[in-house]
């Protein structure tokens, strides 16, 4: 009986250490230009992480969305203000363009075969930029004011290639179909 109790205690200790280590993956990340974010989440799919500072009085969020990604790929993070999932989402996308520099722009995702061309979103976006450092792409932006920042549907994605400065279709199986969830900028 004592051995069983010790085993359970050891499992609990190891489990709590794992949770602390998982939580620190996004918290311990250091950004360029001394950028600091007060909140973050290690997203469950595509090795993605979301960092943010939310200002309730303005209903704006400064975000950094980062994904481990090959240099020829692309990443996107989106808010879906009307539903869940990809269709209807308002996305920020980033990739290396044909001259080798990083490009970031907003694009509305109106269907399951979106154009992925730059376009206006249903909310304001400012300070939009992207960087690629150590096999990781990051999108920076300020989004808002947001109507429902206390409970948002968000989606994220990563694709493997870009043609003529337009992201190609991402994979349509596994993690790529699961990369969505609820986000609360106030409580995390």
Q: Which residues contact 91 (CB under 8 A, 6 or more apart)?
A: 76, 77, 78, 106, 107, 108, 109, 121, 155
State both tokens at 109. Answer: 């995702």
Q: Taking all residues of the chain, what is their mean pLDDT, rounded to a whole number?
A: 83
Read off the pTM: 0.83
Of residues 161 and 54, which shows the higher confidence score?
Answer: 54
Interval 154-180: pLDDT, tens: 999 998 888 888 887 776 767 767 889
pLDDT at res. 2? 52
Residue carrying structure tokens 């203000």: 81
Ranges 101-105, 115-119, 165-169: which has the least confidence: 165-169
Cα-to-chain-centroid distance, residue 181: 11
Determine what percent of the chain is predicted with pLDDT higher than 70.
85
Side-chain half-sphere exposure of 186, counting CA atoms within 13 A: 10
DSSP 23: H
Give the whole-angstrom CA distance, residue 169 versus residue 113: 8
pLDDT at res. 1? 47
User: Is the predicted pLDDT of residue 24 greater than 50, yes or no?
Assistant: no
Give the whole-angstrom CA distance, residue 104 versus residue 116: 12
Residue carrying structure tokens 């200790």: 13
- Within the chain, what is the greatest distance between any pair of CA atoms? 67
DSSP 45: S
Which 3 state secondary structure label does DSSP give 147? coil
Is the CB of residue 63 less than 8 Å from the CB of residue 36? no
pLDDT at res. 60? 95
Give the whole-angstrom CA distance, residue 159 versus residue 137: 12
pLDDT at res. 84? 85
pLDDT at res. 13? 41
């Amino acid at each position: 009986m004592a051995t069983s109790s010790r085993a359970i205690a050891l499992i609990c200790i190891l489990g709590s250490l794992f949770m602390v280590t998982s939580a620190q993956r996004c918290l311990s990340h250091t950004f360029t230009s001394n950028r600091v974010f007060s909140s973050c989440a290690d997203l469950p799919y595509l090795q993605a992480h979301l960092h943010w500072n939310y200002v309730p009085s303005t209903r704006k969020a400064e975000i950094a969305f980062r994904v481990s990604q090959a240099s020829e790929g692309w990443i996107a993070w989106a808010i879906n203000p009307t539903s869940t999932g990809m269709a209807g989402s308002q996305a920020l996308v980033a990739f290396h363009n044909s001259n080798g520099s990083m490009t970031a722009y907003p694009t509305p995702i109106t269907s399951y075969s979106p154009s992925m061309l730059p376009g206006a979103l249903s909310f304001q976006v400012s300070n939009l930029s992207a960087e690629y450092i150590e096999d990781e792409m990051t999108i920076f932006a300020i989004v808002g004011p947001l109507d429902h920042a206390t409970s948002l549907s968000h989606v994220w994605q990563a694709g493997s290639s870009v043609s003529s400065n337009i992201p190609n279709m991402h994979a349509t199986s596994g993690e790529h179909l699961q990369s969505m969830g609820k986000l609360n900028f106030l409580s995390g």
